[in-house]
Amino acid sequence: SKIFALSSKAICPSRKLEDGVDYVPTKKSVIFGHHFTSIAGTGPIVGPAIAIMWGWVPALLWVVFGSILIGAVHDFGALVVSLRNNGQTVGDIAGRLLNKRVRLLFLFILFMALTVVLAIFGLVIAAVFKQYPAAIFPCVVQIPIAIAIGVMLHRKGFGLLAPSIAALAVMYLSVVYGDVGILGEWNAAMAGWSIWTWVVVLLGYSYVASVLPVWTLLQPRDYVNSLQL
C-alpha cells in the first residue's frame, strides 16, 4: 500500500462514473472473484501440464517468480493506474500522457494480443467439447446461473451467501448429472458440431458477454468460477 500510495478515501470510478453498464459499484468478494478468475484463466489446467512436461521445480519457480513477484505486481499496478484514471485502458492513458500515435500503437498491440488469446482459447474449448461431450452442459448452465445471480444482487437486493451456495450446488449437480438421460443425448448432439462451428459460437458468446452490462453476466460468472477455483 505504501508503494502504490493506496487510500481508502479515494473515490473509485464505479461510483464516480456509475452508469449501470461498465461502471457498477459491486461487493468486494465479487470484484475479487471477477479479477481472480480473469487473471487465472487456464492456469489451473495448464499449470499441472507444464509441471508434467518440465518437472515440478520449474513449475513452482514459475509460480513464485513469474506469477507472484512479476505477474501479480504488474497486474495490480495496471489496476491501480486504471483506477486513478477513471478506469481507462493503458492505451488511452498512454495517448493522453504521450501522444495519439502511442495510443494507437498500444491499442493495436492489445487488439492483436486479445485476438490471439480468443482464437486459441476458442479452439481449445471447441476441441474439449468435441472430445468430452459431458463438459458441454455444465459449461452452458453457468450462463443462466450467472444471470440469475446478477439480477438477485443488483436488482433484487439479495445477500451474497444464499445465491452463492445455490449456484455452487446447481453447478456441481450439473457436473454429476449433466450427462444423464436426455442431457446426455443433448451433449452428444452438440458434440456433433464441427470445431469451427463451436469456435464461431464461442466467439459470439464472448462478444455478447462483453457488450452486456458487466453485472449481468461477466462479473457473476467469474465470481461463481472463482468459488470453484
Instruction: State the CB neighbour count (10 A cutoff) for residue 189.
Output: 11
Higher pLDDT, 45 or 25: 25
pLDDT in tens, 186-199: 999 999 999 999 99
The enclosing H or E element of 221 equals helix 218-228
Instruction: Enter the pTM of the model.
Output: 0.78
How many helices (H) and strands (E) the chain has is answered by 13, 0
Question: What mean pLDDT, rounded, does the chain reach?
Answer: 85
Q: What is the pLDDT at residue 44?
A: 59
Query: Which 3 state secondary structure label does DSSP give 137?
Result: helix
**41-77 residue pLDDT tens:** 666 556 665 666 677 787 788 777 777 788 788 888 8
Mean per-residue pLDDT, 164-179: 91
Cβ neighbours of residue 108 closer than 8 Å, sequence gap 6 or more: none
User: Residues 128-141, buried b or exposed e (16+ Cβ, 10 A)?
Assistant: ebbeebbbbbbebb
